[in-house]
Amino acid sequence: MPATVLKVDQNKPDPVVVNAAARVITGGGTVVFPTETVYGLGANALSAEACRKIFSAKRRPADNPLIIHICSMSQLDSICRNVPDTVRTAMERIWPGPVTLLLERKQLVPDIVTAGLPTVAVRMPANPVALALIERSGTPIAAPSANIATRPSIVDSSDAIKELGNVVDMILDAGRTYFGIESTIVDVTRKPYVMLRPGVYSPDDLKPFLGEIASDMRNTKENGSQVPLAPGMKYTHYSPNKPLILITDEELFRKIPSITCRVTLIGTSQMIRGLAGDNISLGDGENTYEVASNLFKAFRELEDKTSLAGCIHPISEKGIGMAVMNRIGKAASRTIGSETDLRQYLDSL
């Protein structure tokens, strides 16, 4: 059955819509809803049966655990134990917000949510629709990003309807999400704290709240022998359905239209200005928040082009830029710095 699609204002959600979605959650169904990061595919986090539907709708491997979304500290205490006071103080300052914390789980949390791990990933989203939905449902909501596994995250409800319209029960149609990139995941069960996934806020941004955060970006794509810290890291992620090439040389990037007309360039407005071709703009390169919010949309736009592949360039890794570069690195099928290598790779496609 096709999903029920209900329009909702992200800043002022209609209680009638929220109630309808909450009924789906309490009835054990799945709802796609906006957060301030990307769209989430949610179900009752305390029901193993409901959470199983998330895994099957997304075709997500069972060993990749889910983030639980909460709307209150009492919900936090229902699913986590031994939360240190220092972490609680930090939560009061960073939540609601795009930071996911790894904590010790309580037994109440179904194994399927944590993939059997002793920890659970939790956050309080800063989005009025998400908060109202959790509150009205009266239960924490488990919600990974609302895309089919391996695909780019969804930042626009029209993409959610296209991709998930036949595999979930309800979609809350709220247009574009605010940040357009996922939360930062920090493991606070260990000292020093460890960042498992860069996100909206960099370790430097979070330092005033959480102190020094070590960053361990072990990634099996580059380093097959190591155990990935966040289980999700070992899988292909964020990838459009055609090759995406990261061009590390700025001059080469700007020269591409004279080499081939078979690729789409994805770049900041400064980088693609004046270049021939049906290219995709990431917006103002001076504003990394703008670039971040356009990234996944650009990956999906690339799929609609007739080109053979996409070429993208690096951006500044400051602040949210660190997460942008992490997503580009994982989505890219190749990193290329010379014209010869580019020609060779294009010929092989």
DSSP 166-200: TTSSEEEE--B-SS-SPPEEEE-SSSSEEEEE--S
Closer CB to Mg ion, 137 or 145, in the complex: 145
Which residues within the stretch 106-145 sit at the binding site for Mg ion (CB under 5 A)? 145
DSSP 115-166: TT-SEEEEE----HHHHHHHHHHTS-EE--BSS-TTSPP--BHHHHHHHHTT
Distances from the Cα of 13 to the Cα of 8, 219, 345, angstroms: 6, 39, 48
What is the smallest separation between the CB atom of 145 and Mg ion, expressed in angstroms?
3
Judged by beta carbon distances under 5 to 8 A according to partner kind, the member of Mg ion, ligand AMP, none in contact with residue 280 is none
Closer CB to Mg ion, 83 or 122, in the complex: 122
Going by their DSSP bridges, the two strands 119-123 and 99-105 should be labelled as antiparallel
- Quick one: which H or E segment has residue 43? strand 40-44
What is the smallest separation between the CB atom of 288 and ligand AMP, expressed in angstroms?
20
Among candidate residues 330, 322, 325, 299, the one with its CA nearest the CA of residue 235: 330
Tokens representing residue 133 in the block: 């939905």
Which one among 47, 75, 114, 279 touches ligand AMP, defined by CB under 6 A? 114
Closer CB to ligand AMP, 184 or 294, in the complex: 184
| Dist CA 243 CA 253 (whole Å) | 16
| Binding of residue 37 to Mg ion (CB under 5 A) | no
| Dist CA 267 CA 195 (whole Å) | 28
| Binding of residue 159 to ligand AMP (CB under 6 A) | no
Residue range at the interface with ligand AMP (CB under 6 A); choices 17-25, 58-66, 305-313, 327-335: 58-66
Judged by beta carbon distances under 5 to 8 A according to partner kind, the member of Mg ion, ligand AMP, none in contact with residue 231 is ligand AMP
Closer CB to ligand AMP, 13 or 65, in the complex: 65
| Binding of residue 157 to ligand AMP (CB under 6 A) | no
Judged by beta carbon distances under 5 to 8 A according to partner kind, the member of ligand AMP, Mg ion, none in contact with residue 311 is none
| Binding of residue 232 to ligand AMP (CB under 6 A) | yes
Going by their DSSP bridges, the two strands 141-142 and 40-44 should be labelled as antiparallel
* Residues of the shown chain interacting with ligand AMP in the complex, contacts defined by CB under 6 A: 64-67, 102, 114, 117, 119-121, 144-145, 182, 185, 196-197, 230-232
